């Protein structure tokens, strides 16, 4: 993945401590394009992915918490059920 190309990742987390959970959720909300509860879809560049991995590693306690980051294939058709709607990456601006 090139540093400027964006790819969709699914970031899922299970954090035991309410304070850490709040900090992880607040941090990931800055990157998400969709999701709910403890699974967020994030549209990231390679550099952003590395930054997210570093920050999440600093926020969790590895012996108690877990985070999974899955790269999703953007060519796959998304299937939504119920009131779900596909995420919209919107417009990105680099300042």
Residue 49 CB neighbours (<10 A): 20
Average pLDDT over residues 11-15: 91
**This prediction's pTM:** 0.74
Average pLDDT estimate for 7-23: 91
Any domain includes 95? no
83 found inside a domain: no
Phi, psi of 48 (to 5 degrees): -65, -40
Range of the domain at 47: 7-71
User: pLDDT for 32-56, tens place per residue?
Assistant: 777 778 888 888 999 999 999 999 9
Residue 93 belongs to a domain: no
C-alpha distances out from residue 37 to 15, 26, 40, Å: 12, 12, 8
Number of domains in the chain: 1
**CATH number, residue 45:** 3.30.70.240
Tokens linked to 60: 């969790």
Residue 89 domain-assigned?
no
């Amino acid at each position: 993945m090139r540093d400027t190309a964006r790819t969709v990742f699914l970031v899922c987390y299970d954090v035991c401590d309410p304070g850490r959970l709040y900090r992880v959720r607040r941090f990931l909300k800055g990157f998400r394009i969709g999701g709910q509860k403890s699974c967020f879809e994030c549209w990231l560049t390679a550099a952003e992915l590395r930054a997210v991995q570093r920050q999440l590693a600093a926020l969790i306690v590895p012996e108690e918490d877990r985070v999974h980051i899955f790269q999703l294939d953007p060519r796959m058709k998304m299937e939504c059920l119920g009131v779900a709607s596909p995420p919209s990456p919107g417009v990105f601006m680099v300042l």
